[in-house]
Amino acid sequence: MTDADVSPAEQAIVDDAISFAAAEIEPRAERWERERRFAAEAFAGLSGAGLTAMLVPTELGGRGVGPVAVARVLEELAAADLAAAFSVVVHNNMARAVATSGNDHLIDHLLPRLVAGEVLGAFLLTEPGVGSDAAAITCSAARDGDEWVINGEKAWVTNGSHAGALNVYAQTDPVAGHRGIVSIVVDPELPGVTRSEPYELLGGHAMGTGGFRFDDVRVPAAATLIPVGQAFAAAMIGIDLARVLVGAMCCGILRRSLEVALDYTANRPVFGSAVADKQGVQWMLADVATDLEATRLLTYRAARQLQDGEDATIMAAHAKKFAARTAQERIADCMQVMGAAGYRRRFPAPADQAGGRSDQAGQVANPLPRHLAAAKLTGYIDGTTEIQNVVIARRLWDRLTGPADAPATERERV
* Structural domains of the chain ordered from first start: 8-120 (1.10.540.10), 122-227 (2.40.110.10), 232-412 (1.20.140.10)
How does pLDDT run across 228-245, given as a tens digit for each residue? 989 988 888 788 999 999
The pLDDT of residue 209 is 97
Q: Which of 31-40, 78-87, 349-358 has the lowest mean pLDDT?
A: 349-358
Taking residue 15's Cβ as centre, other Cβ atoms within 10 Å add up to 12
The pLDDT of residue 356 is 40
Q: To the nearest whole percent, how much of the chain has pLDDT over 90? A: 74
Q: Which of 6-10, 36-40, 117-121 has the lowest mean pLDDT?
A: 6-10
Of residues 37 and 346, more confidence is placed in: 37
CA 89/CA 80 separation, integer angstroms: 15
- Angle between the 231-267 and 279-307 helix axes, to the nearest 10 degrees? 160
- Angle between the 368-377 and 313-337 helix axes, to the nearest 10 degrees? 150
Among the residues of 81-211, which ranges form H helices? 82-101, 104-109, 111-116
> pTM score, two decimals?
0.90
**pLDDT tier, 350 (very low <50, low <70, confident <90, very high otherwise):** low
CA distances from 218 to 147, 185, 215 (A): 6, 11, 9
Closest CA to 265 of 335, 368, 345, 328: 335
* Averaged pLDDT score across all residues of the chain: 90
**pLDDT tier, 266 (very low <50, low <70, confident <90, very high otherwise):** confident
Cβ-based burial of 254 (10 A; exposed 0-12, middle 13-18, buried ≥19): buried
Of residues 136 and 27, more confidence is placed in: 27
The pLDDT of residue 358 is 54
